[in-house]
């Protein structure tokens, strides 16, 4: 799947999170697209380091600390993106969960169609 398609899926997931979570807002659709790019970069560059450093906590909590790491990545994206606002930890926590679920569902639907061809 191409970079543009993944970015559009993430931007759509951000839009869903904005609609469902009161503490998440964007100044416009273009900012969602840019935030999706930044989110991908944060997940590619910063997440592996934080995941490695938090590995003992992740093992101790049987993987549940990964949700906190995801919320931190969401919050870092909001900190780097001027047009994105996240009001606090819980907004980032639930926003990250929504983005993950929506991205997974859309990727699953697109992947199934590609496999059927």
Rounded Cα distance between 75 and 93, Å, is 9
Q: What pLDDT, on a 0 to 100 scale, did the predictor assign at position 116?
A: 52
* 14-58 tens-digit pLDDT: 999 999 999 999 998 999 999 999 999 999 999 999 999 999 999
Asked whether the beta carbons of 63 and 3 are under 8 A apart, the reply is no
Rounded Cα distance between 14 and 106, Å, is 13
Q: What pLDDT, on a 0 to 100 scale, did the predictor assign at position 112?
A: 55
74-85 exposure pattern, b = at least 16 Cβ within 10 A, e = fewer: bbbbbeebeebe
* 51-78 tens-digit pLDDT: 999 999 999 999 999 999 999 999 999 9
């Amino acid at each position: 799947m191409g970079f543009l398609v993944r970015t559009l899926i993430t931007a759509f997931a951000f839009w869903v999170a904005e609609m469902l979570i009161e503490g998440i807002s964007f100044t416009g659709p273009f900012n969602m697209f840019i935030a999706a790019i930044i989110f991908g970069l944060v997940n590619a560059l910063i997440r592996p380091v934080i995941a490695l450093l938090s590995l003992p906590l992740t093992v101790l909590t049987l993987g549940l600390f990964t949700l906190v790491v995801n919320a931190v990545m969401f919050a870092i994206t909001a900190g780097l993106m001027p047009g994105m606002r996240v009001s606090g930890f819980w907004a980032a926590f639930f926003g990250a969960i929504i983005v993950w679920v929506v991205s997974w569902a859309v990727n699953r639907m697109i992947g199934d169609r590609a496999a059927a061809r």
